[in-house]
Amino acid sequence: MLDGAFAILFVAVALGTVLALLHLRPGRRPPPWQLGALHGLIAAAGLAALFLSLGGPPRGLTNGTAPFGEFAATLLVLALLAGLGILAMLYTARRPGLLIAVHAALAVTGFVILAAYVLAS
């Protein structure tokens, strides 16, 4: 189950990368909202799968990565909240640039910690 959560979150990270590249292109029209919605739905599904898999048997006790799953889940929840903030800001006159950077930093950090947790066990 943990490997499945990791795979789903990998797809969400890949879509997030595409969104970032579309956001940074010259002549900047915003990326399609459908792509952002798909990114959010896949990420939420991956986070739900991660929560379900963390309830299983303990992992990483021998190599010191036991708490990495909870750390990754916490960072990914914060990234989800930042993503919802980005969505809310799209309907106001404010530009979400700084919040996009915070969202990306939290998500990438959480994903890297999750990768260490999954691959080290």
pLDDT band with cut points at 50, 70 and 90 for residue 85: very high
pLDDT tens profile 10-45 = 999 999 999 999 988 888 787 888 999 999 999 999
Q: Which residue has the tokens 């909240």?
A: 81
Q: What is the mean pLDDT of residues 105-110?
A: 97
How far apart, in Å, are the Cα atoms of 108 and each of 14, 51, 114? Answer: 11, 18, 10
Per-residue pLDDT, 58: 80
Residue 49 domain boundaries: 2-120
Q: Which pairs count as long-range contacts for 63-70, CB under 8 Å and 24+ apart, including other chains?
A: 63/120, 63/121, 65/116, 65/117, 65/120, 65/121, 68/113, 68/114, 68/116, 68/117, 68/120, 69/2, 69/114, 69/117
Instruction: Select from 44, 56, 64 the least CA-distant residue to 107.
Output: 44
pTM across the whole model: 0.91
Q: Which of 37-46, 54-63, 94-103 has the lowest mean pLDDT?
A: 54-63
Instruction: Tell me the pLDDT of the chain averaged across its residues.
Output: 91
Instruction: Select from 63, 56, 23, 61 the least CA-distant residue to 39.
Output: 23
pLDDT at 64 over 80: yes
Counted domains in the chain: 1
pLDDT at 63 over 90: no
pLDDT band with cut points at 50, 70 and 90 for residue 121: low
CB 46 within 8 A of CB 9: yes
pLDDT band with cut points at 50, 70 and 90 for residue 65: confident
In angstroms, the CA 84 to CA 82 distance is 5
